[in-house]
Structure 1
Amino acid sequence: MDKRNQMTTLESLPNEILLMIFRYINSIDLLLSFNGLNSRFNALLNNQYYPHCFIFDSISKHTFDTICQDHLPFMANRVISLHFGNNEHGYTKLSLFRSYIPSFISFTQLRSLTFESIVSYEMLRNIINECHQLSHLSFLKFIMCKLEDNDTDMQLVVDNIWSLPKLTLCTLDIRGEDFGFLNDEHFCMPKTVSLSMEYLEISMMFNFKANEINHLIKQTPHLKHLSVCPTFTNALTNVSII
């Protein structure tokens, strides 16, 4: 079957079926493949399809620019997940993204944010501040983030994360330029109580003493699963809390 026949067959499907099919396609591929084909597909993608999930990892700069400039500004309120990955290139994409869209606040339905390789404390702090204006945000992940700034207040970062009202899952792999939070091998304990967090994973680079784990659980009373590296075993421990 040639492409014209395939397209004719696809167009014969009702909108409800097409919208169901769209859910199995990455949003980037979906836009690049179907947007602009005809008015019907444009209407489905731009007015009816929800939700959109964007994973920005190993895509070309041209594709990234196209998505950020031509699509995201017009569908921000229908995006539920953004992932800035690809390790050493993640920060570059995030910086470029924020040059197009300076704030995440317009993504009013955003539920999940993942960042890899953030190196700027100012950007980290600004992102977390914006998270407080995302009323549906429940997943937040920082992966392989090594801050290059000397002047960092990680207590503020941790407390701001713990005060996010809807956050249920959090991954924290953030360290200073030398090692750990504030160049220390111990995690910066939250002073704020999280009333929503249930799943927490903290980088293996941080060691925990027994009393620190107790404090962490006390500050996270709804915790169901905790992944940390306790000092007394020097190995990753997964704790399921019922």
Structure 2
Amino acid sequence: MLKRIRAVLNSGNEISVFSSNTHNHSIRAQTTRAPSPVREIVLKSAAAKLSQTQTQLAVANEYNGEVSSSKVTNTFSIMILSSKFESLPDELLLNVFSYLKPIDLYRAFFNLNIRINYILNDSYLKFHLDFDNVPVCEYDLLCEYVMDQISTRLHSIKLSNSTLELFFTQFDFDKFPYLTSMSLIKLTTFEPNETNIFFQQLLKIRLQLSHLLIIECQSVIEIDLYKIIFSNQLPKLKSCQLIFRSDPIDFGCLGKICICNQLEHLTIDKCDFDQLLYLLQYLPKMRYLQASIIGSVTISGKKDLADLIPYLNQLKLTVVRFDYFEYFIQHIPQLTFVSLIYLNAYQPIISGEYLANLLLTSLPSLMRFNCTIPDFKFDYITFIGTFQHQMYLDRKNQWIIKHNS
């Protein structure tokens, strides 16, 4: 029979060799780990739900050799922790595992035991991969050992310029039948063949993609992506976040824009006021809108937004002109949640009382209002005093006013 051989160097610089099933417990007593008979006693005690003191007594009665109380205590703590973790139901372990990165999850738990492997292979366990600035060593491990295990349960992925080309040389989106969410971070101009490969891969999942985040990509790539989004080539896309790299895009240059009945959540950064209104007429099912509006335009004569976006009930605006915010409030009466971040320190909101009257007269269904105002370059104390109005005091838990210095 093949036996494992172990060598131990003691404090006297003497080497003792023994096989795995013929322990020399006098030698093992010099190590930090408790002898295996002690561990077996502690394991039985933990399973019987004995206390630490009772376990110490059991070791003293059943083990003939000498063992320090600290080793028994440490072993007892490890056994208790292990038994508590393993006693958790599968549903709770699935929930815990869902918060871990796949590479960490498989490093820590894969092949730990049959039950854990079964849970790791459960179809209800959804995985999310972040390839943005991932270390090369971690990327290699992930590709070699983990991807085959999770490919059919991958639900979201984040790709950046540093990993995109490498990713597509090793994987095909056909392998991810349940991939529904994608984040594209700071993609720059590709070679023509690389651009074609990227968009071919993207269109392979166009019928399943429901969430898309685009952050500061190169303008040429952004335009091609927006053409795909707003020409309705992603028929299940419900949520879209567009964070521009520099200047806001002119949506008129995209050519024909189709009605996107499926899109319900839109976050758009550095958007011109006119361009936002132009885009909204193609998003009739919009329920949530978050926008940072820049530019200086005349807003008179605009369409009534209540007819364009009748389902919109949550609005978060960042503006440099109060009349932008005022226009939205006056033309979307069905809003229930409103957030305002006001950035112009030189052109204040008229007054707290005016703002309260605007909300009360325009939004009969308003349930919550959050407002952040800057440190205005004038008599700030007097202005803040206008918010000490009974209308705010009556709604102190629903209307929150913050000062951003």
Q: Out of 175, 198, 208, which is 2:272 matched to? A: 208
Distance 2:131 2:222 in 1: 28
How much has 1:18 moved relative to structure 2? 2.0
Residue-pair matches, total: 219
Aligned match for 2:128, one of 46, 50, 53: 53
Counterpart CA distance in 1 for 2:99 and 2:249 is: 42
Select the residue among 110, 114, 139 that pairs with 2:179: 110
Instruction: Find the residue that maps to 2:285 and give its secondary structure.
Output: coil
1:198 aligns with 2:273: no
- Tell me if 1:169 matches 2:247: no
C-alpha separation between the residues in 1 aligned to 2:155 and 2:137? 23
2:218 maps to amino acid: K
Which letter maps to 1:126? Q
Q: Kindly tell me: are residues 53 and 64 of structure 1, through their superposed partners in 2, closer, same or farther at Cα, counting changes over 3 Å?
A: same
Which structure 2 residue ranges, 5 or more long, are not aligned? 1-73, 298-316, 320-324, 335-405
Counterpart of 1:129 in structure 2 is: 203
Matched residues in 2 for 1:186 and 1:9: separation?
A: 55
Larger C-alpha radius of gyration, 1 or 2? 2
1:29 pairs with 2:104: yes
Q: Matched residue of 2:166: which SS? A: helix
Given that residues 182 and 211 in structure 2 are in contact (C-alpha distance below 8 angstroms), is that contact kept between their aligned partners in structure 1?
A: yes
Partner of 1:77: 152
Letter of the structure 1 residue corresponding to residue 173 of structure 2: F
Select the residue among 191, 214, 217 that pairs with 1:142: 214
Seen in structure 2, the aligned counterparts of structure 1 residues 4 and 97 have a Cα distance that, compared at 3 Å, is: farther
**In 2, are the aligned partners of 1:28 and 1:54 still within 8 Å (CA)?**
no
CA distance in 1, matches of 2:113, 2:103: 18
Which residue does the alignment assign to 1:223?
Answer: 286
Q: Distance in 2 between matches of 1:23 and 1:7?
A: 20
**Structure 2 counterpart of 1:64:** 139
Backbone CA RMSD of aligned residues: 3.1
SS in 1 for 2:173: coil
Q: Which amino acid aligns with 1:157?
A: L
Alpha-carbon distance between aligned partners in 2 of 1:153 and 1:64, rounded to the nearest angstrom? 26
Aligned to 2:250: 187
Deviations 1:26-69 (A, max 9, x none): 33322221113233322221244511122334542212221223
Give the share of equivalent positions with the same residue, in percent: 24
Residue equivalent to 2:116: 41
Structure 2 length-normalised TM = 0.47
Query: Unaligned 5+ residue runs, structure 1?
Result: 85-89
Q: Greater relative contact order (Cα 8 A, min sep 6): structure 1 or 2?
A: 1
